[in-house]
Structure 1
Amino acid sequence: MLEHGGNLRDAAQRFGAHDWLDLSTGINPHHYPAPTVAADAWHRLPEPDPALAAAAAAYYGAPLMLPVAGTQAAIQALPRLRAPSRVVVAAPSYAEHAHHWSGHGHTLRQVDYGELEGAVDDCDVLVVCNPNNPTGATVPPQQLLRWADTLAARGGWLVVDEAFGDTASSASICPHTGRPGLIVLRSVGKFFGLAGIRLGFVAAQPALLAQLADLLGPWTISGPAQQVALAALRDQPWQDAMCARLWAEGKRLGHLLAIHGINASGSALFQWWPEPEAERFWQHMAERGIWVRLFPHAARGIRLGLPPHESGWRRLDHALSEWKLIKS
């Protein structure tokens, strides 16, 4: 099993008990205030509520969406829906994509974002995170749609993971998922801060969604998760206010890092930079009870998310000041 952020038990085992400041996931620290769910949500089998898929389609602007148990469920299932294929996964990106496409008879290559244009003609499936996780890099929608058409003409797929796309909705290609071979993944966990309910959505043509639903089986989304997500997806005032807040805090985080000599980039929810002393920085922060995401291999960098409160911002500022002194 691959390592991911949010693994605070691992942090505590290695570095001891702290009042941990978890900046390792990029999940919105100001989560949607989940409403009280109906009592029967805990008792009844969770038959799919059509209102949830409709609310997701309206929110994401897609013709049709399938609820899944987090985008992870779709990431694991999609490689099983194709015959052995030539697959390109943009790199660096969320590691689970390459991990699962490397099996089931597929031939996998990981290609740098800047070289994807040249790889489209030499693959059957192209997988892109947009915005990218962990770097925040983006590919323009028109370029993605051109790639989708090229792949679809020979029966291929373009899979676009927009898990961090809520704060950049103009870059989404969800509205175009009625066309063949285009598959878009969306997450409720990141922007709404509801990672614990394990819910995501897949937008694609009806036939492909039907295949995916058959593979995943019944009762994939719990009753409480359906009710909480339905409220969140319909709450536009909260969405608009939170989007503005996250962009402001994202700029604040980038500015704070710049003050301490770190040239980072990213999204409204996280910042990333290639760090030559990545392991040393990660350990420095962990020893101060701040858990950041270390990328020790090909990407070799650090990603960190937004502090949840002012005391967290102060702790981060102080730890960065100490790091700057150590390096100077």
Structure 2
Amino acid sequence: MSDVRDHGGGLDAAIARWGGTREGWLDLSTGINPVPYPVEGLTSNDWTALPDSGASDRLTRAARAFWGVPEGADIIAAPGASALIARLPAIAPPGAVHIPGPTYNEHAAAFRAAGREVRDQDAPAPVRVVVHPNNPDGRLHEFGPDDGFTVVDESFCDVTPEATQTARTARPGPIVLKSFGKFWGLAGLRLGFAIGHAETLGPLAELLGPWAVAGPALRIGAQALEDRAWAEATRARLTRDSARLDRLMSGQGAALVGGTTLFRLYDVGDAAAMQERLAEGHVWSRLFPYSKRWLRLGLPAPDRFGQLETALDGTAGGATAQPSASRRT
């Protein structure tokens, strides 16, 4: 497994090469909801005062209710899931770490930076980290009755809430990570959560220090987590829009490898060529260092599909996909 920290984004570099403005580009290189939760109701106090316990308690209650956090489990809010990932090696048991790949590379990078051995083969290890659903192929993992110290990164699980593993956090060992930025489309807010038994999570709060979450994030996060109607409507829209994206890509000869309703992974034959041709239409996509065939696309907002359609029309002559005989699901 490579520990190169490749990510989506990087739009500035694309603009430097292909021109245009940030507003004119359609950035599909991430799996962030393109229709974000509406930000409203902020007060001047949210910006000027140190976060108080009342705002933190409201966010925690909302998160506990939304994700069905069991009795006996704690929930810790942080300035983004990445802030939690970077600190997990400090509270994990010593020894090797099993991280099934290919997957999101920040977990392996964090443990390697702490001097830990990372294995991507299915071998016994005192620490296990799984991304569930997995990024980039969307696969769901299977869990045993007692998986010991297991980190379950559920950054994309809010589109499939029935697959959550939060119930496991009632006992010591499992830790479930939640990312607010993906499903609610507010990645710039920097808000994430760790859910786990108090015995497991206790040291993590100390590592984060006081006032880990900004006042605006406390208010917006609580409002969004309390808004169940928005979440249900959003899941339905994402299902429709991901199916629309599949139809468009299928028309180009692309084969669906997997994904979630927030992002889709396709076998397009020559991924670099497809990315370049899409970029000529100012549509940015995601490549992976371990596959020359895979291209990942986030969802356009409903009113931005036209730009993708135009860019795809421009690719039909030279970047038609050549699907492989076997596909991962």
TM-score, normalised on structure 2? 0.89
1:39 to 28, 40, 44: 44
Task: Work out the CA distance in 2 between the residues paired with 1:321 and 1:94.
Answer: 31
Task: Work out the CA distance in 1 between the residues paired with 2:317 and 2:292.
Answer: 25
Deviation at 1:275, TM superposition (A): 4.0
The ranges of structure 1 where at least 4 consecutive aligned residues each deviate by more than 6 angstroms after the TM superposition are none
Are 1:301 and 2:294 matched, yes or no? yes
1:110 to 111, 116, 120: 120
Are 1:7 and 2:15 matched, yes or no? no
CA distance 1:241–1:83, change in 2 (3 Å): closer
- Name the structure 1 match of 2:239: 247
Deviation at 1:173, TM superposition (A): 0.6
Aligned 8 A contact 2:28 2:297 in 1: yes
Query: Once structures 1 and 2 are overlaid, which stretch shifts more, 95-104 or 183-192?
Result: 95-104
CA distance 1:190–1:96, change in 2 (3 Å): same
Show the 5 A alignment for 1:221-300: 221-264=213-256, 265-298=258-291
Q: Deviations over 1:82-108 (max 9, x none)?
A: 353110111111110111111323111
Query: Once structures 1 and 2 are overlaid, which stretch shifts more, 34-43 or 272-281?
Result: 272-281
Q: Deviations over 1:41-90 (max 9, x none)?
A: 11111235111111101101113311111110111000122353110111
Aligned 8 A contact 1:92 1:298 in 2: no
Query: Once structures 1 and 2 are overlaid, which stretch shifts more, 253-262 or 294-303?
Result: 294-303
1:54 to 44, 47, 61: 61
Q: Which amino acid aligns with 2:307?
A: R
Q: Deviations over 1:11-41 (max 9, x none)?
A: 2223222410011111000100011212211
CA distance 1:105–1:300, change in 2 (3 Å): farther
2:28 to 16, 23, 26: 23
Q: Which amino acid aligns with 1:144?
A: F
Structure 1: runs of 5 or more not aligned:
none
- Name the structure 2 match of 1:205: 197
TM-score, normalised on structure 1? 0.89
Structure 2: runs of 5 or more not aligned:
321-329
- Name the structure 1 match of 2:81: 71
Are 1:93 and 2:106 matched, yes or no? no
- Name the structure 1 match of 2:125: 123
Aligned 8 A contact 2:104 2:136 in 1: yes
Q: Which has the higher helix share?
A: 1
The number of residue pairs the alignment matches comes to: 309
Task: Work out the CA distance in 1 between the residues paired with 2:60 and 2:291.
Answer: 38
Instruction: Give the SS at the match of 1:91.
Output: coil
- Tell me the C-alpha RMSD between the 2 structures: 1.7
Aligned sequence identity (%)? 39
1:217 to 201, 204, 209: 209
